[in-house]
Amino acid sequence: MNDAAELTRRTSMATEHFDVLIVGAGISGVGGAYHLTTQCPGTSFVVLEAKETFGGTWITHKYPGIRSDSDLHTFGYRFKPWTGVPIATAEEILTYMGEVINENDLAPHIRYHHKILSACWSSRDNLWTVQGAHTTTGEPFRFTTNFLWMCQGYYRHEQGYTPHWDGMQTYRGRIVHPQSWPEDLDVKGKNVLVIGSGATAATLIPTMAAECGHVTMLQRSPTWFRSGRNAIELVEQLRELQIDETWIHEIARRRILLDQTLFTRRTFEEPEKVRQELLDSARAQLGPDYDIETHFTPRYRPWQQRLAFIPDGDLFQAIRSGKASVVTDEIERFTETGVLLKSGRELQADIIVTATGFNLCVLGDIDFVIDDKPLNFADTVTWRGMMFTGVPNMAWVFGYFRASWTLRADLVADFVCRLLKHMKQIGARKVEVALRPEDRDMKLLPWIGEENFNPGYMQRGMHLLPKRGDKPEWAHTQDYWTEKDAIPATNLDDAAFVYS
């Protein structure tokens, strides 16, 4: 190697140090950066993002009609009012996030094209060493940091989940996963088969129905849907009264959160009544002769899997118009021209879209090492779904299933900032959570109970996730209404926090 090349190599591997390193510039990472600047001024930090720009899931997914399935008053940040319609497009969300970055001068803190490969903790130095490579040049990089803030989400962005079916290789059309939507895909006049009936399918189908010859939603079993106007009457009334948008945002958030909490509680306390309400709503929009029992009556309790919201009933409208249809059956195998079902029926399709979910990704597929020992995340126990036994100076943002992700991102951000200030105040350089004497005999359970929430991606990846205990502080309870008070009230001098 010549001197110039050697100098370049050494320069590229020069170590940069920051007080805090945030992984990911999606909704959680950008929010975390904002909270650090406002709650912990003077703290040095960097945000490392593997993609070419900010946005996370809203950059990964480019399929037609991509939109939120949570309202933006609660999916948006608490500190920046949302002024558009509650269910927003990816473009609108990215614009909103861009405004947060620009208004708070966060851009200089974000490094794009930085893919992290490893994170190693040293108790001798009380530091994380984070290494990776630039996604376009391949150049290696290395950072050290006092605190690692994992905001990378929980699914693998590179590739969605597609089951294997016999005969897939014989199909002469195009098979597409929504997570890897080709820019050149033309659906005009085509017969499109969408496999799956979750939120992605419910978004894709009404959008494509306007262009396709016909679109069919093929589901193994039905999904619960809830529909309503893409508007909030209370917000409209407050705007008519010319109330300040900051006030409207906070009032809307509180109203929505209360309504969501009451509805979720009802799905546990009176599931049959909620079930009937959802079926009656679907029947009212699809017509009295539609076979609701076969196509829109799930086997599971409402909210035992994610309940998809249909703004303005657009999926039901597409079905009622005849541009879209639903088939409930299982695939026997693919054929040259479509799929053969177990009932013997064959569905013809020019294009097949596998809206079959995603792959769970724990800690961003980063190789974690604690004091020279590889970390098996499944061996840890979680403290409130954000910190983990045996893993110092790290927090992970894992949002809510039944409420907007960002609600928890804000709560975790408040907690991390408070923890960092507490450590500074007491002169601690290291903190980790540990089971207290009274927790030693605590029963350890999977990350979330199957009876609570059991979509396929969780069942496939549960063995990779940390354990939870049977006490609320040793679990991610998925209960925002309780956590919004419990997490801010956390005693940072509790024996569960071990400082040094």
Domains and CATH numbers, the chain: 3-157+360-499 (3.50.50.60), 162-356 (3.50.50.60)
- Matching residue, tokens 């614009």: 95
d(CA 190, CA 30): 40
Residue 90: both structure tokens together: 């990816």
What would the two tokens of residue 364 be? 């961003």
Cα dihedral 104→105→106→112 (10° resolution)? 140
Q: Could you tell me the end-to-end alpha-carbon distance of the chain, in angstroms, rounded to an integer?
A: 44
Cα separation, 70 vs 328, in Å, equals 26
pLDDT reported for residue 211? 94
- Residue 436 per-residue DSSP state: -
Distances (CA, A) of 419 to 237, 306, 375, 385, 401: 40, 32, 23, 15, 25
Q: Are 193 and 337 in contact (CB under 8 A)?
A: no
Per the rule left: phi > 0, alpha: psi between -120 and 50, beta: everything else, 372 is: left
What angle, 0 to 180 degrees and rounded to 10, lies between the N-to-C axes of helices 271-286 and 314-321? 40
| Residue 256 to residue 380: CA distance in whole angstroms | 35
| Distance (Å, whole) CA 265 – CA 455 | 19
Taking the chain (500 residues) in runs of 10, the rounded mean pLDDT of each run is 42 84 98 98 98 96 92 96 96 98 98 98 98 96 98 88 95 96 95 95 95 96 93 96 96 94 92 95 96 94 86 96 97 98 97 92 93 97 97 96 92 98 98 96 90 74 92 94 96 98
Q: What is the pLDDT of residue 200?
A: 93
Contact indicator for 223, 328 with CB cutoff of 8 Å: no
For the stretch 284-292, contacts whose Cβ atoms lie closer than 8 Å and that sit 24 or more positions apart, written own/partner, are 285/227, 285/313, 285/316, 285/317, 285/320, 286/316, 286/319, 286/320, 287/320, 290/319, 290/320
The Cα–Cα gap between 357 and 378 comes to 22
> Nearest-CA neighbor of 252 among 75, 374, 21?
75
Residue 489: Cβ-neighbour burial (10 angstroms; 0-12, 13-18, 19+): exposed
301-305: long-range contacts at Cβ-Cβ below 8 A with a sequence spacing of 24 or more? 301/267, 301/268, 301/271, 301/275, 302/224, 302/267, 302/271, 302/274, 302/275, 302/278, 303/224, 303/264, 303/267, 303/402, 303/453, 304/451, 304/452, 304/453, 304/454, 305/223, 305/224, 305/453, 305/454, 305/455
SS3 23: strand
Query: What CA–CA distance (Å, rounded) separates 308 from 355?
Result: 14
The number of beta carbons lying within 10 Å of the beta carbon of residue 212 is 21
Residue located via tokens 């409402």: 302
The CA–CA distances, whole Å, from 468 to 349, 386, 439, 446, 493 equal: 45, 11, 12, 6, 21
357 vs 200: CA distance, rounded Å: 8
Tokens of 228: 């309503």
Q: According to the model, what pLDDT value does residue 461 have?
A: 83
Task: Specify the pLDDT at position 10.
Answer: 45
SS3 category, 349? coil
The whole-number pLDDT of residue 374 equals 97
Six-digit token pair at 165?
């079916």
- Which of 483, 461, 457 lies closest to 377, judged by CA? 461
Residue 47: per-residue pLDDT: 98
CA distance 413 to 34: 9
- State how far the Cα of 383 lies from the Cα of 391, in Å rounded to an integer: 11
Helices (H), 270-404: 271-286, 292-295, 314-321
d(CA 302, CA 497): 37
- Confidence at residue 69, expressed as pLDDT on a 0 to 100 scale: 87
The answer to whether 402 and 478 are in contact (CB under 8 A) is: yes
Backbone angles phi, psi at 40, to 5 degrees: -130, 60
CA pair distance 8, 253, nearest whole angstrom: 51
Burial 362-394 (b: 16+ CB within 10 A, else e): bbbebebbbeeeebebeebbbbbbbbbbbbbbb
